Structure 1
Amino acid sequence: MTYKHLLLLLFILITHNCLAQFNDTTHYYTKFASSGSINKTESSSTYLLNNSFKFGVKKKSLAMNFNNNWIYGKTDHEITNNDFNTSLDFDIQKDSARFYYWGLANYTTSISLKINNQLQAGGGVAYDLVKTKVSMLNLSDGILYDRGDLFLDDDTHDVYNTYRNSFRVLFKFVIKDIIVLDGSDFVQNSFTRGSDYIIRSTTNLSVKLRKWLSLTTSYNYNRMNRTARENSLLSYGLTAEKYF
């Protein structure tokens, strides 16, 4: 069974189990963001596109999110980024409690980080340190199973299996219903190799032009220490979102 087939199976199973519990009080959320940057001179040209799509379902004690992100870039006709990430996560929370459980299935392929295929799946616990209508700060920790196929150089594949501790900081702050600062930071350490760790960081600053449309600046940082590769991306563009 391939990575994509396994991820599809996890998606079907989790979706079936979650949607079976939903009724007319279910809330849905969609978000699409497209940003990028272009730099051209007489001797060179560089451009970067960063597109993401999110679909969420929430009902009382259960929430599910399907996230997709694609980054594509070229420098002087040479591809520097063709990075795709898709994930399915769900949270189980009782009433208004700040403590809850989470589960995750994640697939990644990335030229810039030298990831041919990477599949992660696992779960853990999370806690809301701050949770109001205009601010949120959340900490979570858990265990992920990581199966990867990496490029250490042009000729060598690093195919591995490991378990990782996954620690995350999630935040969102809204100022006067116009300015929104949100993001997430992950650190994932292997239990078997101290030098094998992953860092993922995303920060977004948005200014609302309409209730459903925002001007957004995004900063993304990723490091795969197993391949000694990292990328740092700053882009700007538009975000459209809708609750229904």
Structure 2
Amino acid sequence: MKQIVKKAVGIFLFLWANQLAGLAQFSDTVNHYINFSGTGNLNKTNTGTTYLLNNTARFQVNKKKISLNSMAGYVYGRNPTIKTNDDFLATLNLDFLKDVQKFYYWALTGYEKSFSLKVDSRFQAGAGVGYVFVNSDKANLELSDGFLFETTDLGVVDVHGRTSYQAARNSLRLKYRFLIKEIVRIDGTNFFQPSLSDGRDYILKLNTSVSVNLYKWLNFTTSFNYNRQNITSTENLLMTYGLSMEKYF
């Protein structure tokens, strides 16, 4: 199974690299976007310090019919007695025809390691379709659905007594962006991923951020993140604030 996963990752990265090379040949029609956000929170008392750091980097390459979106995020947190978070997530997805018609196609691969959710490693890869309800400079609303293959190693036993398993999942995503008076921006990406074979096995990810523009490329950002892995009854809730930097080129 691990060999199959490695081959799948290799094929996806090969296709991704070739697609980037193809886009580079037509750089006059390609748009790029890069974003980095550093947020967190801190609470210091006589008994100790509790803190949380949430850092995320995003890079996008957009052409008329194809767009590539990559993201990597890392969360680290401690309270006076123990480590609470040591979580890493990276995703890469390809959208086809999203900017030219309502229906579009997508492919995605992702890797996750989460101390707070008790996930030693999780790899997902899949594809599906999406529908764009609104797509303008001030608003975007889209819904997508598809299927994922997943292989997971857990740090604790699940409800079935396992620490390792493979699963096929449905993946439903709601994504939105709203811009208010060129100053305030609301971004959200939310996933519901139930197993096709086990009703107790689902993953829920809710992510929303609100950014206030301070300068051309600088924003004050607050973030809300909620994650639940039902098969191990583990979850986390993160509310952080800080700065984000972005650039289109």
With the shorter chain as reference, the TM-score category is over 0.9
Alignment partner, residue 201 of structure 1: 206
Matched, 1:44 2:55: no
Q: Answer yes or no: is the 8 Å Cα contact 1:3–1:117 preserved in 2.
A: no
Matched, 1:136 2:140: yes
Q: Quote the offset at 1:211 in angstroms.
A: 1.4
Question: After the TM superposition, which residues 165-180 of structure 1 pair with which residues of structure 2 at under 5 Å, given as runs?
Answer: 165-180=170-185
* One-letter amino acid of the structure 2 residue matched with residue 118 of structure 1: R
Question: After the TM superposition, which residues 87-98 of structure 1 pair with which residues of structure 2 at under 5 Å, given as runs?
Answer: 87-93=91-97, 96-98=100-102
Equivalenced residue count is 243
What RMSD, in angstroms, separates the aligned Cα atoms of the two structures?
Answer: 1.9
* One-letter amino acid of the structure 1 residue matched with residue 225 of structure 2: N
Q: Answer yes or no: is the 8 Å Cα contact 1:179–1:207 preserved in 2.
A: yes
Aligned residues: percent identity?
Answer: 42
Alignment partner, residue 145 of structure 1: 149
Distance change >3 Å, CA 5–CA 191, structure 1 → 2: closer
Of stretches 12-21 and 71-80 in structure 1, the one that deviates more from structure 2 is: 12-21
Paired with 1:4 and 1:35, the residues of 2 have a C-alpha distance of 33
Q: Answer yes or no: is the 8 Å Cα contact 2:157–2:163 preserved in 1.
A: no
Distance change >3 Å, CA 146–CA 8, structure 1 → 2: closer
Q: Answer yes or no: is the 8 Å Cα contact 1:7–1:105 preserved in 2.
A: no
Q: Which runs of 5+ in 1 are unaligned?
A: none
Q: Answer yes or no: is the 8 Å Cα contact 1:151–1:227 preserved in 2.
A: no
Distance change >3 Å, CA 10–CA 210, structure 1 → 2: farther
Q: Quote the offset at 1:21 in angstroms.
A: 2.7
Paired with 2:52 and 2:35, the residues of 1 have a C-alpha distance of 20
Question: After the TM superposition, which residues 215-226 of structure 1 pair with which residues of structure 2 at under 5 Å, given as runs?
Answer: 215-226=220-231
* One-letter amino acid of the structure 2 residue matched with residue 52 of structure 1: T
Alignment partner, residue 232 of structure 2: 227
Of stretches 5-14 and 100-109 in structure 1, the one that deviates more from structure 2 is: 5-14
Matched, 1:76 2:77: no
Q: Quote the offset at 1:227 in angstroms.
A: 1.0
Q: Which runs of 5+ in 2 are unaligned?
A: none
